[in-house]
């Protein structure tokens, strides 16, 4: 046997043997399997004095197969149909979260004195959560269906964002400088490559894969699939792009054939073996000396990942219509980085865009966050309960009703006459934001050359010339910024009108939905500003010398947040008045069914705009809620519904406190989404 073959066999034996042992230990300790792979890589790597050293070059070559197959499998699960199916709410969540982490990662890199490109790669490294780690953690814990759908939907969109980031970073790292023309050329070249590959691929690949699968020969199917995967990866590399990008596109093209499930089952065993080699190779790069030298960066970035993702995901999920409990649980479930972080960090190292320190730093941050992920998931429910109890009463009522308003908005959807207006406003926002980004980037990249031209021709001095260029850029950008604010306000008003239409009454005082609609307008406006401003800030920050844009966005968000608080306080009065109407209606009810369900009269719902679909639930003798308080039941935290009123013999409670005890025969008026009210009924009735 030749020496090279012997080295290959020895490396595979060492890698897979040690990985098997560390994986078993990780499973015994209820830790993600990825963590076991990383530890295996550390043990057999060249930086730890243990006589189980595998050849780093051989393992690195094998790990490239793992990258290709891993990205192919991710692409296989991704399709345009799946993206449309996950819906706009998870897209909003992923965009807000990734934009926030990109910006925070860039700022952290600049604080540590890293170069602009290293800081950009740092932001990309910490922006994407780990599908592998989350999937393994969810397998071990009983996770609610709604939370699973939200988390994995966000992960799908994050995977797409990661692919776009890799393509953009490749163009940035391979471009000659950061001039506007070179940036435009590399971006155009990338766009032509992607469009051509996708268009040609959609014409050929799905049809070919369906015919191959129809043969009923599994070996032919897997050979054709993997062969296409490696061919597309090789094409991407030959054109100067990453093999990961090519493999992802190949997987998405095969996924469009409709046979992705059967192909995924065939590819999975091969993928798992080489993915293990990939993660072990990542662990082999963990240099304890280098990591000790950059321990401050590792600790800071770990803190940024955990807090940034919890805040970003929670905020985005709540604004898109998920309750506080589900939103916070999703944020704490996604507070880690993983496989894409390794790939992006490795891309920066391969393209010589980053120093050799970033890769081990990314690995260390991933290991720490992977270690904490199961604990964060377990702690998410108690933390959500604690936060819900700590919220002031107006906010508690607001968060319960907000989801019901968005439920009504989604139900109106494309059927509403205002849907075309909404699409037009969205296009206007995209155009205005794109123009602002283009002006900022172009002025930042061209400021020096324009200033030098003005100085060389004796028109202005150096300082005056630069101030003139910046003033000109600001003058060009301000009208579009104002346009974003105005269109955002009009879009929020239109959406609020779709969810809570104006009553037919001619007098403003008879508009029973006025208070909820005002609250919804302000909250939607806050969400729109974040959805537009966060990506704009993340894109333009690397080209700016200061943080004026971030301070401006923060000021706008704080103003809108204060306005939301004021609106929520005013909403509380509307809710109390509506609760009084409900109490009077319930007082007229003389019969309580044995199953504990009393329906509020349908004509009453029309008079209580903004309260979702209020229902009344009576507590019979066998109800598990009798003798407990609302706080002990954690009704709002568990179900997302809120109790508007409680009626019992001879007494009434409007918007009761969480410490109010429940008695047999009490009738509770509950409001919220249909799902929330149904969950509340199951909790109260048993």
Residue with tokens 């970003």: 312
At 512, is the pLDDT very low, low, confident or very high (cuts 50, 70, 90)?
low
At 459, is the pLDDT very low, low, confident or very high (cuts 50, 70, 90)?
low
Q: Do residues 421 and 667 make contact, with C-beta atoms less than 8 angstroms apart?
A: no
Q: Of 135-144, 520-529, 663-672, where does the model show the most confidence?
A: 520-529
pLDDT at 360 over 70: yes
- Min mean pLDDT across 32-36, 308-312, 424-428, 588-592 is at 588-592
Q: Kindly report the number of other CB atoms within 10 A of residue 502's CB atom.
A: 13
Cα 621 to Cα 590, 656, 664, 683, 685: the distances in Å are: 17, 21, 6, 14, 10
pLDDT for res 506: 46
Q: Do residues 418 and 517 make contact, with C-beta atoms less than 8 angstroms apart?
A: no
Percentage of the chain exceeding pLDDT 70 = 86
Residue 589 or 194, more confident? 194
At 123, is the pLDDT very low, low, confident or very high (cuts 50, 70, 90)?
very high
Q: Kindly report the number of other CB atoms within 10 A of residue 382's CB atom.
A: 10
Q: Do residues 484 and 431 make contact, with C-beta atoms less than 8 angstroms apart?
A: no
Strand ordering across the sheet containing 615-618: 597-598, 615-618, 667-671, 642-648, 651-654
Tens digits of residue pLDDT in 401-423: 888 788 777 777 656 677 788 88
At 187, is the pLDDT very low, low, confident or very high (cuts 50, 70, 90)?
low
Sign of CA dihedral 183, 113, 539, 105: positive
Burial of 176 per CB tally in 10 Å (0-12, 13-18, 19+)? exposed
CA atoms within 13 A on the CB side of 251: 26
Q: What is the mean pLDDT of residues 460-487?
A: 82
CA dist., res. 275 & res. 57, Å (int) = 17
Nearest residue to 156 via CA among 84, 105, 249? 84
- Min mean pLDDT across 116-125, 134-143, 529-538 is at 134-143
Q: Do residues 670 and 677 make contact, with C-beta atoms less than 8 angstroms apart?
A: yes
Residue 172 or 368, more confident? 368
pLDDT at 196 over 50: yes
**Is 651 in a helix, a strand, or coil?**
strand
pLDDT at 590 over 50: no
CA dist., res. 81 & res. 77, Å (int) = 11
pLDDT at 310 over 90: yes
CA dist., res. 75 & res. 200, Å (int) = 17
pLDDT for res 1: 46
Q: Of 239-243, 348-352, 644-648, where does the model show the most confidence?
A: 348-352
pLDDT for res 6: 66
Question: Domain segments of the chain: what residues?
Answer: 66-271+299-390, 395-558, 589-685
pLDDT at 388 over 70: yes
Residue 631 or 508, more confident? 631
CA dist., res. 336 & res. 330, Å (int) = 12
Nearest residue to 347 via CA among 35, 195, 120, 41? 120
Tens digits of residue pLDDT in 419-438: 788 889 989 998 998 888 88
Characterize 123-152 residue by residue with b for buried, 16 or more Cβ atoms within 10 angstroms of its Cβ, and e for exposed: bbbbbbbbbbbbebbbeeeebeebbeebbb
What is the model's pTM? 0.80
CA dist., res. 154 & res. 371, Å (int) = 21
Class of domain 66-271+299-390: mainly alpha
Nearest residue to 154 via CA among 133, 138, 130? 130
pLDDT averaged over every residue in the chain? 79
CATH of the structural domain 589-685, one choice from 3.40.1390.30, 3.30.70.1450, 3.40.605.10, 1.40.20.10: 3.30.70.1450
pLDDT at 505 over 50: no
At 306, is the pLDDT very low, low, confident or very high (cuts 50, 70, 90)?
very high
Q: Kindly report the number of other CB atoms within 10 A of residue 299's CB atom.
A: 13
CA dist., res. 344 & res. 98, Å (int) = 14
Cα 79 to Cα 245, 256, 606, 659: the distances in Å are: 15, 6, 42, 49
Q: What is the mean pLDDT of residues 238-247?
A: 76
pLDDT at 97 over 80: yes
Q: Kindly report the number of other CB atoms within 10 A of residue 561's CB atom.
A: 13
CA dist., res. 366 & res. 278, Å (int) = 14
pLDDT at 11 over 90: no
Residue with tokens 């019901």: 404
- Ramachandran assignment for 665, one of left (phi > 0), alpha (psi -120 to 50 degrees), beta (any other): left
pLDDT for res 51: 65
Sign of CA dihedral 629, 631, 635, 640: positive
pLDDT for res 305: 94
CA dist., res. 552 & res. 536, Å (int) = 12
Q: Tell me the CA end-to-end span of the chain in Å, nearest whole number.
A: 71
Tens digits of residue pLDDT in 598-641: 555 434 555 566 666 677 787 877 788 787 887 777 777 777 78
pLDDT at 276 over 50: yes
CA atoms within 13 A on the CB side of 371: 10
pLDDT for res 303: 94
pLDDT at 501 over 80: no
pLDDT for res 507: 45
Nearest residue to 405 via CA among 503, 311, 322? 322
Q: What is the mean pLDDT of residues 4-29?
A: 80
Q: What is the mean pLDDT of residues 93-120?
A: 91
């Amino acid at each position: 046997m030749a020496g090279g073959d012997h080295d290959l066999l020895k490396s595979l034996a060492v890698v897979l043997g040690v990985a098997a042992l560390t994986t078993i230990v990780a499973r015994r300790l209820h830790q993600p399997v990825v963590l076991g792979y990383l530890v295996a890589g550390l043990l057999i790597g060249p930086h730890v004095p243990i006589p189980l050293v595998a050849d780093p070059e051989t393992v690195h070559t094998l790990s490239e197969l793992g990258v290709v197959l891993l990205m192919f499998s991710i692409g296989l699960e991704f399709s345009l149909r799946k993206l449309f199916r996950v819906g706009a709410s998870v897209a909003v969540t992923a965009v807000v979260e990734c934009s926030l982490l990109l910006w925070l990662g860039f700022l952290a890199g600049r604080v540590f004195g890293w170069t602009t490109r290293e800081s950009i790669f740092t932001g990309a490294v910490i922006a994407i959560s780990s599908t592998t780690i989350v999937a393994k953690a969810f397998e071990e814990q009983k996770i609610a269906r709604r939370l699973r759908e939200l988390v994995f939907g966000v992960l799908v969109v994050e995977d797409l964002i990661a692919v776009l980031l890799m393509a953009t970073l490749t163009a940035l790292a391979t471009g000659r400088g950061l001039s506007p023309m070179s940036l435009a050329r590399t971006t155009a070249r990338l766009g032509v490559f992607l469009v051509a590959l996708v268009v040609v691929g959609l014409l050929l690949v799905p049809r070919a894969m369906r015919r191959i699968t129809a043969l009923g020969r599994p070996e032919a199917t897997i050979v054709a699939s993997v062969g296409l995967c490696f061919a597309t990866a090789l094409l991407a590399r030959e054109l100067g792009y990453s093999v990961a990008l090519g493999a992802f596109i190949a997987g998405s093209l095969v996924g469009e054939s409709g046979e992705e499930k059967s192909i995924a089952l065939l590819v999975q065993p091969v993928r798992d073996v080489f993915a293990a080699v990939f993660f072990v190779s990542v662990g082999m790069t963990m240099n304890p000396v280098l990591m000790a030298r950059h321990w401050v960066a590792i600790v800071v970035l770990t803190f940024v990942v955990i807090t940034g993702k919890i805040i970003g995901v929670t905020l985005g999920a709540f604004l898109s219509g998920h309750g506080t409990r589900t939103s916070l649980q999703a944020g704490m479930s996604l507070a880690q980085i993983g496989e894409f972080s390794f790939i992006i960090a490795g891309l920066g190292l391969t393209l010589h865009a980053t120093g050799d320190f970033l890769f081990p730093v990314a690995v260390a941050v991933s290991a720490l966050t992977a270690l904490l992920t199961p604990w964060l998931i377990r702690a998410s429910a108690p933390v959500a309960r604690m936060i819900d109890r700590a919220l002031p009463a107006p906010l508690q009522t607001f968060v319960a009703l907000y989801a019901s308003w968005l439920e009504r908005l989604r139900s109106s959807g494309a059927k509403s006459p205002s849907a075309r207006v909404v699409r037009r406003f969205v296009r206007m926002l995209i155009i205005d934001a794109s123009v602002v980004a283009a002006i900022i980037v172009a002025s930042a990249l061209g400021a020096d050359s324009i200033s030098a031209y003005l100085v060389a021709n004796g028109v202005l001095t150096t300082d005056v010339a630069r101030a003139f260029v910046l003033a000109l850029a600001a003058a060009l950008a301000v009208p579009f910024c104002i346009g974003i604010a105005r269109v955002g306000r009009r879009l929020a008003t239109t959406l609020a009108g779709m969810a809570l239409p104006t009553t037919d009454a001619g007098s403003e005082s008879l508009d029973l939905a006025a208070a909820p609609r005002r609250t919804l307008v302000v909250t939607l406006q806050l969400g729109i500003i974040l959805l537009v401003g966060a990506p704009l800030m993340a894109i333009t920050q690397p080209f700016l010398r200061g943080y004026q844009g971030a301070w401006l966005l923060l000021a706008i968000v704080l103003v809108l947040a204060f306005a939301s608080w004021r609106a929520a306080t005013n909403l509380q009065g509307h809710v109390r008045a509506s609760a009084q109407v409900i109490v009077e209606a319930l007082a007229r009810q003389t019969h309580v069914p044995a199953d504990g369900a009393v329906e509020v009269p349908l004509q009453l719902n029309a008079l209580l705009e903004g309260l979702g679909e209020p229902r009344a639930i009576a507590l019979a003798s066998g109800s598990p809620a009798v003798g407990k308080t609302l706080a002990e039941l954690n009704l709002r935290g568990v179900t997302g519904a809120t109790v508007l009123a409680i009626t019992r013999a001879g007494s009434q409670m409007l918007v009761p406190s969480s410490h109010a005890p429940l008695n047999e025969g009490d009738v509770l008026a509950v409001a919220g989404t249909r799902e929330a009210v149904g969950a509340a009924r199951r909790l109260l009735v048993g």
